Structure 1
Amino acid sequence: MGVSAEESTDGRAARSGAAGGGRGAGEPAAAGIAHRVPDLGALELLLAVARLGSLGRAARELGITQPAASSRIRSMERQLGVALVDRSPRGSRLTDAGALVTDWARRVVEAAEAFDAGAQALRDRRDSRLRVAASMTIAEYLLPGWLIALRGQRPDTAVSLLAGNSTAVAERLLTGEADLGFVEGLSVPAGLDSAVIAHDRLIVVTAPGHPWARRRAPLEGPELAATPLILREEGSGTRQVLDAALGGLARPLIELSSTTAVKAAAVSGAGPAVLSELALGEELSTHRLVSVPLSGVELRRALRAVWPTGHRPTGPARDLLSLTRGV
Structure 2
Amino acid sequence: MDLRQLRYFAVLAEERHFGRAARRLSLSQPPLSHAIRQLEEELGAALFVRTSRQVALTPAGAALQREAQAILQRAAEARLLVSDVAAGRRGRLRIGFSGSTVYRGLPRIVTAMRAQAPDLEVILREMNSGEQVEALLHDELDAGFVHLRERPDGLDGTLFHAEPFVLCLAADHPMAAAGAGDARLIDLRDEDFILFSRSVSPDYYESIIALCRLAGFLPRVRHEVRHWLTVAALVAHGAGIALVPRSLAGAVAGIVCLPLPPSPIRSETWCVWKAGAPAPGVVETLLPQVRGGPVLP
Residue 323 (1) aligns with residue 289 (2): yes
Q: Residue deviations 1:88-123, cap 9 Å, x none?
A: xxxx8735x98449978xxxxx89x76983893796
Residue 233 (1) aligns with residue 202 (2): no
Residue 295 (1) aligns with residue 261 (2): yes
Q: Residue deviations 1:26-72, cap 9 Å, x none?
A: xxxxxxxxxxxxxx87x788667876653553343x4xxx5xx45xx
Question: What's the counterpart of residue 253 of structure 1?
Answer: 222
Cα distance in 1, alignment partners of residues 233 and 104 from structure 2: 16
Alpha-carbon contact 1:50-1:102 (below 8 Å) kept:
no
Cα drift, residue 190 of structure 1? 1.4
Residue 265 (1) aligns with residue 204 (2): no
Question: What's the counterpart of residue 125 of structure 2?
Answer: 162
Residues 246 and 282 (structure 1 numbering): CA distance in 2 closer, same or farther, change over 3 Å? closer
Residues 58 and 244 (structure 1 numbering): CA distance in 2 closer, same or farther, change over 3 Å? farther
Residues 247 and 311 (structure 1 numbering): CA distance in 2 closer, same or farther, change over 3 Å? farther
Structure label with greater radius of gyration: 1
Alpha-carbon contact 2:148-2:268 (below 8 Å) kept:
yes
Unaligned residue ranges in structure 2 (runs of 5+)? 43-70
Counterpart residue type for residue 21 of structure 2: R
Residues 240 and 173 (structure 1 numbering): CA distance in 2 closer, same or farther, change over 3 Å? farther
Counterpart residue type for residue 208 of structure 2: L
Residue 134 (1) aligns with residue 97 (2): yes
Residues 169 and 225 (structure 1 numbering): CA distance in 2 closer, same or farther, change over 3 Å? farther
Alpha-carbon contact 1:174-1:191 (below 8 Å) kept:
yes
Cα drift, residue 281 of structure 1? 2.9
Secondary structure of the residue that 1:261 maps to in structure 2? helix
Question: What's the counterpart of residue 314 of structure 1?
Answer: 281
Residues 116 and 242 (structure 1 numbering): CA distance in 2 closer, same or farther, change over 3 Å? same
Residues 137 and 57 (structure 1 numbering): CA distance in 2 closer, same or farther, change over 3 Å? same
What count of residue pairs does the alignment treat as equivalent?
254
Residue 151 (1) aligns with residue 117 (2): no
Q: Percent identity?
A: 27
Residues 159 and 217 (structure 1 numbering): CA distance in 2 closer, same or farther, change over 3 Å? closer
Cα distance in 2, alignment partners of residues 311 and 239 from structure 1: 33
Counterpart residue type for residue 111 of structure 2: I
Could you say which structure has the greater relative contact order, defined with CA pairs below 8 angstroms and 6 or more residues apart? 2
Question: What's the counterpart of residue 94 of structure 1?
Answer: 33
Cα drift, residue 228 of structure 1? 4.6
Alpha-carbon contact 2:159-2:271 (below 8 Å) kept:
yes
Cα drift, residue 260 of structure 1? 0.9
Question: What's the counterpart of residue 192 of structure 1?
Answer: 155
Residue 58 (1) aligns with residue 19 (2): no
Residue 117 (1) aligns with residue 83 (2): no
Cα drift, residue 258 of structure 1? 0.9
Unaligned residue ranges in structure 1 (runs of 5+)? 1-39, 71-84, 87-91, 105-109
Counterpart residue type for residue 94 of structure 1: S
Question: Taking structure 1 as the reference length, what is the TM-score of the superposition?
Answer: 0.60
Secondary structure of the residue that 1:159 maps to in structure 2? strand
Alpha-carbon contact 2:245-2:267 (below 8 Å) kept:
no
Cα distance in 2, alignment partners of residues 55 and 202 from structure 1: 76
Counterpart residue type for residue 324 of structure 1: V
Counterpart residue type for residue 187 of structure 1: E
Specify which of 209, 227, 240 is matched with residue 172 of structure 2.
Answer: 209
Question: What's the counterpart of residue 277 of structure 1?
Answer: 246
Residue 173 (1) aligns with residue 112 (2): no
Counterpart residue type for residue 300 of structure 1: R
Question: Taking structure 2 as the reference length, what is the TM-score of the superposition?
Answer: 0.65
Question: What's the counterpart of residue 305 of structure 1?
Answer: 271
Cα distance in 1, alignment partners of residues 170 and 11 from structure 2: 82
Cα drift, residue 192 of structure 1? 0.8
Cα distance in 2, alignment partners of residues 210 and 218 from structure 1: 15
Cα drift, residue 262 of structure 1? 0.7
Alpha-carbon contact 2:157-2:273 (below 8 Å) kept:
yes
